Amino acid sequence: MSKAYVLANVRVDDPAGYKASYQDHVSELIQRYHGTFLVRGGYKTDLENALPYERLVIIEFPTRQHAEDWYNDPDYQQLVADAAPYIQRTLVVVDGFTG
């Protein structure tokens, strides 16, 4: 099985609300499913066709099943609902290259 990556492109409309409702809690849930942040914000440069939002997050999981189980976890879904007033985002999961 190949690793899987969750890519999130995020616009934060209320940093304090986002931090309190989501950021302060999400790491524990990611670790529960053996996930690791590879990219969490930071400065980005759009080289071709800009992403719609300024923040990029990449999370590595051991398998696609781990990523999907994390996303579907009721505790995570509660964080998503709590953060909704403070952010806009797109989120995808992609399988890693096994070459």
Q: Show the DSSP H helices in the chain as ranges.
A: 15-18, 24-32, 64-72, 74-83
CA–CA distance, 66 with 71 (Å, rounded to integer): 9
Listed residue (51, 21, 27, 28) closest to 40, CA to CA? 27
Domain ranges, residue 45: 4-95
| Res. 43: pLDDT tops 90 | no
Q: What type of residue is 17?
A: G
CATH of the domain at 23: 3.30.70.100
* Confidence bin at 93 (pLDDT 50/70/90): very high
pTM of the model: 0.94
Residue type, 47: L
- Please tell me the total count of domains within the chain: 1
CA 34 to CA 81: how far, in whole Å? 23
